[in-house]
A and B are shown apart, each in its own frame.
Chain A
């Protein structure tokens, strides 16, 4: 039995290393020179550590600008997203009014309409609003996140309704109640959803590709596919750029690993 367990661990580790390989290779290859790439035996370790590729990626292209674009879009889109979802969830959980459940359903049901199948019409809308090549245009279709709204509602529901009644008796306004009671009590779910939103926005590809034509408005995920090095087998700067993108998200991922595992296995965050 014990021997069997050792086998299992060995096989699991080998498979795990295969899964890890593309990430490992991206980091290693970011140090390769053109000669290292075309070596007859593919190298799995850089012969020398030179940051030449990083320098080239950051200076020969607009990579820094792409990163700033992605940061702005991800940061503000997540903020607005949370704002929209928090207001809606707040209203649905703490107030009683006619059509409440129906309207909530109308919003949640947009989950059934995958955004990637709506790109043509949404492109026309955004273009008519004059938002092509703007941050607002990139964010626009992602400002409503039905899944997050749903999770926020579940989170808010854990707050006793009596709090609201007590607060109302004390003359606390709705917005004040939201700001100083509901949000502090839901800090962890709001932060998790915000971070999740940020990563989702940061990783977008198709929509930002469509609504940006000017090079300096591209987001980083779109930008790195157009650096133009790959055609000449000179992958170095591309891998440097990819490594620059993977490193921080790997770091965040490893730091939050426990929370992510718990979240997914218990079924709170997915996607």
Chain B
């Protein structure tokens, strides 16, 4: 009897090892995802229970809502400013130091340092540096910009913080890619008279393009999920000029307790990020993954 039982018990044990991971995946990923989908199609009361199924009504109202349109536009505005700045800076920096010379190790370290700083610390420091009256930025550049009170400028401070936080990782990824371009290719091109600009566009850029596209698509996804820096630095203001999708979702969910609307925004964020992650994986060739 005991012998007959043991093989199936053994089989069961294999599943037991997977059980904690599966339970967590169900409890904190799949279940909330399905519930968010259902909530976005229903009217939900204050305690988070569904009252009535209303189909796509929440989405129709959402896209008519001026507030949501602003969030959507701001989120893309962030991405459009953040990604080119980030990529241009990191690519430029990587091109400066990819060939090992004196001081390159030191410079590399400087570019990587932002990785060691958490978002909320960085946001606090930026808030002080950009302070209009006592901040260093306005003084050094002889400006009198109200960085956090002028809707024209507030988004730029969030973008600059985003770039600063992204530099460490993106610089390293591009540096790694540039260093893996075979040196003979570059040398033979230069022997044939190609300048450094031609070498870059004809040889380096095509060869690092998978990494470059990977960086761009993951940063696009990150942009869709922008929320924390806005919370610490600007609280979505002034005049909603830095209000992003995730920030509005937070406000609808936790300040206004409007779960249907919050869930509908979540679904929009899911849809946007989903395609961008798929896009990122297409360019992911070396087993690099984001969390």
Residues of chain A at the chain B interface (Cβ within 8 Å):
5, 8-9, 11-13, 15-17, 19-23, 25-26, 29, 37-38, 41-42, 44, 83-85, 87-88, 90-92, 95, 97, 100, 103-104, 106-107, 110-125, 140-141, 143-147, 149-151, 154, 174, 200, 202-203, 205-206, 209-210, 221-222, 224-225, 230, 233, 235, 238-239, 242, 245-246, 249-250, 252-254, 257, 260-261, 264-268, 270-271
Contacts and interface: CB of A to CB of B under 8 A. Distances in A.
Given A116-B225, A235-B128, A97 B274 contact: no
Nearest to B139: A42
Q: Which of B14, B102, B164, B253 has the most CB of A within 10 A?
A: B14
A87 B21 CA distance: 9
A156 to B, nearest CB: 12
Given A117-B266, A154-B287, A92 B96 contact: no
Contacts of A37: 134
B103 interface: yes
A19 B134 contact: no
Interface string B97-136: 1000111101111111111111111111111110101111
Interface stretch (B25-33, B64-72, B75-83, B199-207): B25-33
Given A42-B135, A92-B18, A125-B28, A250 B113 contact: yes
Given A122-B28, A249-B118, A270 B101 contact: no
Contacts of A115: 28-29
A109 to B, nearest CB: 8
Interface of B: 11, 13-15, 17-18, 20-22, 24-25, 27-33, 35-36, 39, 48, 89, 92-93, 96-97, 101-104, 106-129, 131, 133-136, 139-140, 164, 167, 169, 172-173, 175-176, 179, 221, 225, 227-228, 231-232, 246, 249-250, 253-254, 259, 262-263, 266, 269-270, 273-274, 277, 286-291
A23 B113 contact: yes
A57 B164 CA distance: 26
Top 7 nearest A-B pairs by Cβ distance? A265-B176, A16-B110, A121-B32, A91-B17, A267-B286, A203-B118, A144-B24
Contacts of B111: 15-16, 19
Given A118-B36, A120-B253, A19 B266 contact: no
B116 A107 contact: no
A205 B228 contact: yes
A107 B128 contact: no
Contact of B179 (A88, A265, A268): A265
A91 B20 CA distance: 12
Chain B interface mostly? helix
A154 B289 CA distance: 13
B21 to A, nearest CB: 4
A95 B14 contact: yes
Given A12-B93, A115-B29, A154-B287, 8 more contacts: A9-B96, A9-B101, A13-B110, A121-B31, A144-B29, A225-B120, A246-B121, A249-B116
23 contacts: A9-B103, A12-B96, A16-B93, A20-B110, A23-B113, A42-B140, A44-B136, A87-B20, A92-B18, A106-B22, A112-B277, A116-B227, A116-B246, A119-B250, A120-B266, A121-B36, A146-B25, A206-B228, A206-B250, A246-B117, A260-B172, A265-B176, A271-B289
A115 B259 CA distance: 17
Contact of A264 (B21, B173, B266, B291): B173
B136 A25 contact: yes
A206 B114 CA distance: 19
B112 A261 contact: yes
B289 A110 contact: no
A63 to B, nearest CB: 13
Contacts of A107: 18, 21-22, 25
Q: Is the interface of A mostly helix, strand, loop or mixed?
A: helix
Given A116-B246, A145-B291, A265-B175, A221 B119 contact: yes
A209 to B, nearest CB: 8
Contacts of B254: 120, 123, 210
Contact of B118 (A22, A116, A140, A245): A245
Given A221-B120, A245-B121, A113 B29 contact: yes
Nearest to A85: B21
Contacts of B107: 9, 12-13, 16
A260 B115 CA distance: 10
